[in-house]
Amino acid sequence: LNHRPRPGLTGSPLERADHIRTDEEALAKVCGDLRARLLRLDDLDPEVDPLGALGWCSLADCPDGCELLFLGLDQGVPCFAALDEAAPSAGQGAYRVWRHLDMLDPAHAATYAAARGLIEWHRRHLHCGRCGTRTRIAKGGWSRACADCGTEQFPRVDPVVIMLAEHDGEALVGRQPRFPPDRYSALAGFVEPGESLEEAARREVLEESGIRVGRVRYQASQPWPFPGSLMIGLLGEAESTEIVVDRTELEDARWFDRDEVCAMLADRHPDGLKVPPAMAIAHHLIRAAVEG
């Protein structure tokens, strides 16, 4: 197996420069910086050049009616994205972006993910969650403020646990009906109020597969801006082996032994079964399991 790269959508070179967001004068200065650049987007999709770099233009090209979101500084150069509040959120059904992500340089993909996640958050939080009044952008795009009741809301991510359960050299993977054909992945679900990550992961695996998990250990995490998740990758020790698939969530769940998992990672499983691509954290969990 190849050496293990980090999960995709991480490792952006952007310095987020929080001190600028909260300083009106400094914010005006970066907006007026002649080097400042605006991320080129086709709605929410990136423009990617043949070398895998993101496309940028000048702030003067910001479309009418759009607001600027200050992404941060790239080697001192202010970087922005444009927010069109009238455009809808793409939500989860955003698969056309995948072909772009495959082409993007990993660091550029991470910058894109930050911009996309921020834009998606704004599009889904245009109104105050407390009184329903339309809110306005504040802090360079890192907050929305309600002029009516004074509530300020901040860009948030939803924690999702994704866990690979292991038992006696075998790994538990499943497939959702919406997955590409023949793809299997680690089981995942949203963390609910009142749960630790470990508890959420154990509950999800039990609900979806009937497998009880004991010890859980953290492996890695990854932002997932489709539309606003943080994937928290865990490995768990299964304490039972009999699978009962929850058909409302999964099409199938199975134990795969090490040889099969290695074959899937190398894309040479005899039945053509596959694991998610290296960009996805599930790939790294599965790789970590076979590499011990």
Q: What is the spatial order of strands in the sheet that 136-138 belongs to?
A: 136-138, 143-145, 152-153
Element (H, E) at 168: none
Under rule CB under 5 A, residue 151 binds Zn ion: yes
Under rule CB under 5 A, residue 247 binds Zn ion: no
Under rule CB under 5 A, residue 146 binds Zn ion: yes
The 8 Å CB, 24+ separation contacts for 263-266 are 264/184, 265/1, 265/290, 266/1
Q: Kindly state the smallest distance separating residue 127's Cβ from Zn ion, in Å.
A: 8
Under rule CB under 5 A, residue 148 binds Zn ion: yes
Q: Kindly state the smallest distance separating residue 87's Cβ from Zn ion, in Å.
A: 23
Distance of alpha carbon 181 from alpha carbon 122, whole angstroms: 33
Distance of alpha carbon 94 from alpha carbon 71, whole angstroms: 22
Considering CB under 5 A, how many residues would be counted as binding Zn ion? 8
Region 115-134 residues binding Zn ion, contact defined as CB under 5 A = 128, 130-131, 133
Q: Which is nearer to Zn ion, 151 or 240 (CB)?
A: 151
Q: Kindly state the smallest distance separating residue 153's Cβ from Zn ion, in Å.
A: 9
Q: Kindly state the smallest distance separating residue 145's Cβ from Zn ion, in Å.
A: 9
Cis peptide before 227 (omega within 30 of 0): yes
Q: Which is nearer to Zn ion, 32 or 150 (CB)?
A: 150
Joined together, the tokens standing for residue 45 give 């999709």
Residues lying near Zn ion in the complex (CB under 5 A) are found at 128, 130-131, 133, 146, 148-149, 151
